[in-house]
A and B are shown apart, each in its own frame.
Chain A
């Protein structure tokens, strides 16, 4: 059972994530690389291909992964962690990091899938270590962001915006 209700990503961890994504993109010659939360939220993205539609892409990629995972479960798969979408121009390779994040690489036909698989596995291992640190640090950082004042300001904004 998950104990945390949120994940707090610090500047330092985000910088490391961005560097990792950038390195993965350069090493595989991919067009874009993204790190998503399983809920579909974009944690970080690199590359020009996804920038404009990042929010929608995040929702769809996470939905597609989650849906494929249900298919795998129905087929009796025990450990389903990756999906590969083969397009005419662009391919997408998605790897799950623990049960929380998704590492997504978008690449064209100039890149070989084998290279993407190997290097994304390596990057996913490093992301896993980052995730563990983020989890460990979340509870101590929480009070610095989420306090009574913040909550009451958000509530005021909700009242202001969410109306006819």
Chain B
């Protein structure tokens, strides 16, 4: 739920990157962190294991500056992707205003992606939200992998709602900002 603070003239929105382990959620945030104007970002916080797998979440606060007198801030979070962290994902989703579902396009990850999306749908219901009318953007990541499935196939099985989707190669930055722009606008539209 976005927070509009009239006294301090601030608007805060929370965006969560969701998806399976190693699909590139943290890579998205790292790319944004290193490429965006340094004045527009705060410190990135990562709670990860020794092997750099996300244990709890990554957190990156972005600040658009003052717009119509209101300082607009987007807080980006990632969830830990590994299956065993289901409850942790639920904890991070709490209070989200928008979701980016990052898909690992590789054929061998297809089933895992489908399960993860079903879990997201279930978790949203647990939080009393309906994913079918919630700000959501799809990102088809790892488009450079040899076994990447055609986007049409991914769309058919993972994007029944037909929300906007963006092809990405997150470690190169391709599609990262297009995704971020789309979800931010989607959140603002639904404020």
Contact = CB atoms under 8 A, between A and B. Distances in A.
Interface of A: 1-2, 4-11, 13-15, 37-41, 43, 55-56, 59-60, 62-63, 66-67, 69-71, 74, 100, 141-142, 145-146, 149-151, 153-155, 157-159, 161-164
Nearest to B127: A2
Contacts of A154: 64, 67, 72, 188
Given A39-B75, A56-B42, A69-B91, 5 more contacts: A6-B3, A8-B4, A41-B95, A43-B3, A163-B177
A10 to B, nearest CB: 5
A150 B67 contact: yes
A55 B72 contact: no
12 contacts: A6-B1, A7-B1, A9-B6, A39-B3, A43-B5, A55-B42, A62-B95, A70-B88, A150-B67, A154-B188, A155-B188, A162-B184
Contacts of B67: 150, 153-154, 157
A70 B6 contact: no
A14 B188 contact: no
Contacts of A162: 32, 36, 177, 180-181, 184
A15 B8 CA distance: 10
Interface residues of B, number: 54
A63 B35 CA distance: 27
Contacts of A39: 1, 3, 12, 14, 75, 94-97
- Lowest 6 CB-CB distances: which A-B pairs, in order? A39-B95, A66-B91, A14-B7, A6-B2, A70-B87, A11-B7
Contacts of B177: 162-164
A2 B35 contact: no
A37 B7 contact: no
B92 A56 contact: no
